[in-house]
Amino acid sequence: GENVEQHPSTLSVQEGDSAVIKCTYSDSASNYFPWYKQELGKRPQLIIDIRSNVGEKKDQRIAVTLNKTAKHFSLHITETQPEDSAVYFCAAPYSGGYQKVTFGTGTKLQVIP
């Protein structure tokens, strides 16, 4: 199956600073990499995703970069705001099975006003 490792497990930044969360994966055939945001007591929601045919994707203050050779992808949040405080999960599918998407262990981001 797919092994997904996510770092760091917690991250505190000052409002306005940038935050970077990194994930590594094991299945070299994986070609879709989503990031989910989960606020306390709420459902995980997709914030950005990237497919393996591109190296970077940006949506306003959020960007994701992918390095297929090294098998890692990163979430970048710029100009952080207090409402960015949440737990962020990366995920990667296992190409050898039906839909067995594996999630990282999560990064708890705290943005300090």
Partner 1 sequence: GAGVSQSPRYKVAKRGQDVALRCDPISGHVSLFWYQQALGQGPEFLTYFQNEAQLDKSGLPSDRFFAERPEGSVSTLKIQRTQQEDSAVYLCASIRGSSYNSPLHFGNGTRLTVT
> Which residues would be at the binding site for partner 1 (CB under 8 A)?
6, 31-32, 34, 36, 42-46, 49, 51, 89, 93-95, 97-106
State in angstroms the smallest separation of the CB of 16 from partner 1.
28
Q: Is the Cβ of residue 18 or residue 32 nearer to partner 1 in the bound state?
A: 32
Rounded-to-10 torsion of CA 40, 46, 48, 50: 130
CB 44 within 8 A of CB 106: no
DSSP state at residue 2: -
Q: Is the Cβ of residue 98 or residue 113 nearer to partner 1 in the bound state?
A: 98
Integer Cα distance of 94 and 27 in angstroms: 7
Q: Is the Cβ of residue 16 or residue 94 nearer to partner 1 in the bound state?
A: 94
State in angstroms the smallest separation of the CB of 37 from partner 1.
11
